[in-house]
Amino acid sequence: MTGPRPPRLPLALLTWRLPENEPLIGDLIEEFGHRRSRVWFWRQTIVALVLARRQPRRHVAPLGLSSDPSDIRREEIRVPINLSASPLPGAGGLGLVALGVVVAIVRPGAWWFVVAAIAGGLVLGFVKVLRTRRRFRKDSGSFLLRHGERHPAPPPRG
C-alpha cells in the first residue's frame, strides 16, 4: 500500500464485519490518503458498520432447518443461529473461554461460576431451539427439513 496507512483497528473492523463490501473499504482507504484524518476514518467506519447492521438481515435458518424448502437460493445463504446469545457471531465460545481464564486468575475458587454459566447457556440454547422449531412449524404450515434433504441429486440419464 502506498501513502499513509489508515488506522488499523477500524480497518480490521471493516474487513471483519463487511468482507463483501470491498469497494467501500477501498474507497475509504483511498480517501484517507487525501484527507489524512483519523477522526474522519473512524466516523466513516462507525457509520458504515451501523448502516450495514440496519440493513435487512439475510434469511436465518437455525440448525440447518428451512421453512421454505422450494427456495434453493436460501439454502446457499443459510446462517447458523448463535446459541451462546453472544452479540459477536462466532465469538461466543471464545468469550466463554476468556471468562473462564479471568475467573481462574481472579478467583480460583469460583470454578462453579463457570460451570453454572455453561449449564445456563446450554439450557438457554435448548429452549431457543425448541421455541424456534415450534414457530417454524406454525408459520410455514409445512414440515421441517434438514439441510440437503430436499434437493436430492437428479437420477442419472440413460
Q: List helix spans (H) across the chain.
A: 8-17, 22-35, 38-54, 72-76, 92-106, 111-140
Please identify which residue in 16, 27, 93, 146 interacts with another protein, judged by CB under 8 A.
Answer: 27
In the range 123-152, which residues lie near another protein by CB under 8 A? none
User: For another protein, which residue of 36, 38, 43, 134 counts as binding (CB under 8 A)?
Assistant: 43
3-state secondary structure (DSSP) of residue 29: helix
User: What does the angle CA 45 – CA 99 – CA 78 come to, to the nearest 5 degrees?
Assistant: 55
- Output the smallest distance, CB 131 to another protein, in A: 32
Q: Does 23 engage in binding with another protein (CB under 8 A)?
A: yes
Phi, psi for residue 135 in degrees, rounded to 5: -65, -40
First to last CA, the chain: 56
Nearest to 135 by CA among 56, 80, 60: 60
* CA 140 and chain centroid, separation: 24
Residue 35 vs 107, nearer CB to another protein: 35
The footprint of another protein on residues 51-70 (CB under 8 A) is 51-52, 55
**Cβ proximity to another protein, 15 vs 142, nearer residue:** 15
CB of 39 to another protein, least distance (A): 13
Phi, psi (deg, nearest 5) at residue 66:
-130, 135
Q: Which of 12, 47, 88, 115 binds another protein (CB under 8 A)?
A: 47
Q: Exactly one of 7, 13, 17, 31 binds another protein (CB under 8 A); which one?
A: 31
Q: Catalog residues that contact another protein under the rule CB under 8 A.
A: 1-3, 6, 11, 21-31, 33, 43-45, 47-52, 55
